Amino acid sequence: MPEQLIECVPNFSEGQNSDIIDQIIAEIKSIDGVKLLDVDSGFEMNRTVVTFIGNPEGIKEAAFSAIKKAAELIDMSVHKGSHPRMGATDVCPFVPVSGISTEDCIKLSEAVAERVGDELGIPIYLYEKSAKTPERVNLAKIRMGEYEALEVKLKKPEWKPDFGPSTFNPGAGATVIGVREFLIAYNVNLNTAESKFATDIAFELREKGRSARKGNIEPFYFKGQEILKYNTGSYPCGNCDYVSVKIDDLINHCQKEHNYDLVELLRANGINPEKVDGISVKKSGLFTHCKAIGWMVPEYKRAQISINLTNYKITPMHKVLEATRKLAADRGIVVTGSEIVGMVPYPALLETGKYYLRKQQRSTGIPVRDILDVAVQSLGLRDVSEFNIDERVLGLPKTKTEDLVVMKVNDFVDEVSRESPAPGGGSIAALAGALGAALASMVSNLSIGKRGSEEVEEDLKPVADKVQEIKDFLVKAVDEDTNAFNAYMAARRLPEKSEEEKKAKNKALQDGLKKAVAVPLNTAKRSAEVIDLAGIAVEKGNINSVTDAGVGAHIAYTGVKGGIFNVLINLKEIEDKKFIEEMIKACQDLDDTARKKVDAVIKRVHEKIEELMK
């Protein structure tokens, strides 16, 4: 699983005094577990937007510290700027990037909001996904009247803050906090220098759509009759001589005199009658959560469609790109590639890679890096500039340079062979399970997308996906097992001179032992899953690779047995008798089931080999 990662983008009402900005930034940078990505100050707006990422605890602390420092240094009573604002920290959005749900991120935003309100005495309003009422979802509505209207606003019951006091804080004002989706700045490149083509396509894509004005669209027909014309400044009825200057009057006329619903007809054709303006009608675009404009980029000597995707889970990059390719082709234009400005969340790029693999009828159960490479190639992200996955993808699963799993095979084997007790059997068990999963994946993928394998593909695709997930889990467990043992050894070195120290040491030892048990138990459980999946690969996969699947099942059982051994050996010093009984039973049941399954798989492998030998 990817690491838990959140983006925080606080907006501070100071863009002119660099000393104040630097002090706020210093607060953020001082917190462990966060990384500063960007600082964007606007002098005329008198506003600074800061972007940083980190784990949940780091983000919570950094956000609070920055809000506190801003309240100390910024005096809203003398603030002037062109950008709407109502507080020293005007708005503080949290964006779930990877490894954390929106619900958990909302809880985090509420915790920060409560702490700011209680400890700093700042009125807090929750917005976007954190909003408690529909009226407070929209930031602009909450901020209406800005700082100057805040004192009166706070006295109204309907504007009671979600957290903090209802009394006016003249120095800090009020702050809006909440969770929103990640915004992907995504540009599509065209093989033309004519910006009008980019603008035209942008209008088709964006949620706002385009104005269908006089002379630029075909009239609408209903039952063979023209019912709405756009060639005058009025709205004539196609069924009679009635003419109106208001679309509402024409709608009422059509319903009353001709018994049909013009509203329904217009909407069926992508037009919202509520947005008709004079002789201009808004035609909705193809995608929600999509903003787009077209422009010419002299640096690239080509036109570009500049797109903001405000919810990539609903409107992902690949869907917009494929629609753009079709719209461009209709205009005799070619999409040469695309560009991501800034960062992109790992799940967004991963899903794009999987989308193109599915289009190619290939397996998505391949290594994560391979999937991301497919996404980069398919989107054409290296068309106008370099795209480095390690630098541009937020939440990318990574390994530390000192981890065992980044060692060369011979170095790792040497490390295991030394006199130190770790890495030991637990790490090797995890590695065995991971290798078993890898072999099950290989056999599945050798059949997927191959001629003659159509009947088994749907059985093998989920196998390949699942064993890749297990493989990644068990690779991490190689180091987790060693880390758990090291934590236990650290607890053994704690002082025990006083009674309090003895109690603290004993608790640390017991907690360490239970953790040392949990890691190998999970290794055993996940390795047992591999045996089942390898069995499917034996039955459904390419018969010429049946022995590879058999090896995968057999070595996965080593992962099961090795994990169980490491659970049992660590039970001897645990004082919790009930916990010991539960672990012994769990290990026995797991071993019995896994042994029967691996025996059945191996038997089937021998039968398949005999079939080949005939």
What digits encode the pLDDT tens for the residues 308-345? 898 999 999 999 999 999 999 999 999 999 998 878 98
Instruction: Give dist(CA 153, CA 278) in Å, integer.
Output: 36
Provide CATH code, domain 404-613: 1.20.120.680
Every domain of the chain with CATH number 3.30.70.670 lies at 290-394
Predicted confidence (pLDDT) per residue in 587-600, tens digit: 999 999 999 999 99
Q: How large a percentage of the chain has pLDDT more than 90? A: 62
**Under 8 Å between Cβ of 393 and 343:** yes
Q: Helix, strand, or coil here: 492?
A: helix
The predicted pLDDT at position 53 comes to 93
The predicted pLDDT at position 252 comes to 76
- φ, ψ at 340 (rounded to 5°): -105, 125
Every domain of the chain with CATH number 3.30.990.10 lies at 5-179
Burial of 101 (0-12, 13-18, 19+ CB in 10 A): exposed
Give yes or no: 289 in active site.
Answer: no
Q: How large a percentage of the chain has pLDDT more than 70? A: 91
Select which of 90, 162, 479, 481 is catalytic. 481
Identify any residues that bridge with 293 across adjacent strands, giving them in sequence order: 306
The predicted pLDDT at position 216 comes to 34
- The stretches of 380-494 forming alpha helices (DSSP H) are 389-392, 409-417, 425-447, 454-492
Instruction: Give dist(CA 555, CA 335) in Å, integer.
Output: 48
Burial of 116 (0-12, 13-18, 19+ CB in 10 A): buried
Confidence grade of residue 212 (pLDDT, cut at 50, 70, 90): low
Q: Which residues contact 172 (CB under 8 A, 6 or more apart)?
A: 70, 71, 74, 76, 87, 88, 89, 120, 121, 122
Measuring CA to CA, which residue among 509, 478, 487 is closest to residue 572?
509
Mean pLDDT computed over 218-245:
55
Window from 88-97, 216-225, 299-308 with minimum mean pLDDT: 216-225
The number of helices, as runs of H, and strands, as runs of E, in the chain is 18, 19
Instruction: Give dist(CA 426, CA 517) in Å, integer.
Output: 10
DSSP secondary structure letters along 84-120: --SBSEEEEEEEEEESS-HHHHHHHHHHHHHHHHHHH
Select which of 79, 83, 258, 289 is catalytic. 83
CATH superfamily of 5-179: Formiminotransferase, N-terminal subdomain (3.30.990.10)
Give yes or no: 241 in active site.
Answer: no
Q: In what helix (H) or strand (E) does residue 20 lie, and over which residues does it extend?
A: helix 18-29
**Under 8 Å between Cβ of 560 and 591:** yes
Every domain of the chain with CATH number 1.20.120.680 lies at 404-613
Indicate whether 278 pLDDT > 50.
no
Confidence grade of residue 384 (pLDDT, cut at 50, 70, 90): confident
The distance from CA 287 to its chain's CA centroid, rounded to whole angstroms, is 19
Indicate whether 231 pLDDT > 50.
no
Instruction: Give dist(CA 379, CA 353) in Å, integer.
Output: 9
Predicted confidence (pLDDT) per residue in 510-529, tens digit: 888 888 889 999 999 999 99
Indicate whether 230 pLDDT > 60.
no
Give the type of residue at 433. G
Confidence grade of residue 232 (pLDDT, cut at 50, 70, 90): very low
Assign a CATH topology to domain 290-394: Alpha-Beta Plaits (3.30.70)
Give the type of residue at 434. A
Indicate whether 281 pLDDT > 70.
no
CA distance from start to end of the chain: 45
Predicted confidence (pLDDT) per residue in 134-177, tens digit: 989 988 889 988 999 999 999 999 999 999 999 999 999 999 99
Confidence grade of residue 421 (pLDDT, cut at 50, 70, 90): confident
Give the type of residue at 149. A
Expressed in percent and rounded to 5, the helix, strand and coil fractions of the chain are 55, 15, 30
Instruction: Give dist(CA 65, CA 305) in Å, integer.
Output: 39
Identify any residues that bridge with 368 across adjacent strands, giving them in sequence order: none
Predicted confidence (pLDDT) per residue in 572-590, tens digit: 888 889 999 999 999 999 9
**Under 8 Å between Cβ of 173 and 322:** no
**Under 8 Å between Cβ of 469 and 463:** no
Measuring CA to CA, which residue among 553, 560, 614 is closest to residue 592?
560
Mean pLDDT, the chain, integer: 88
Give the type of residue at 363. S
Predicted confidence (pLDDT) per residue in 443-478, tens digit: 999 989 888 788 899 999 999 999 999 999 999 999
Answer whether 0.75 is exceeded by the pTM.
Answer: no
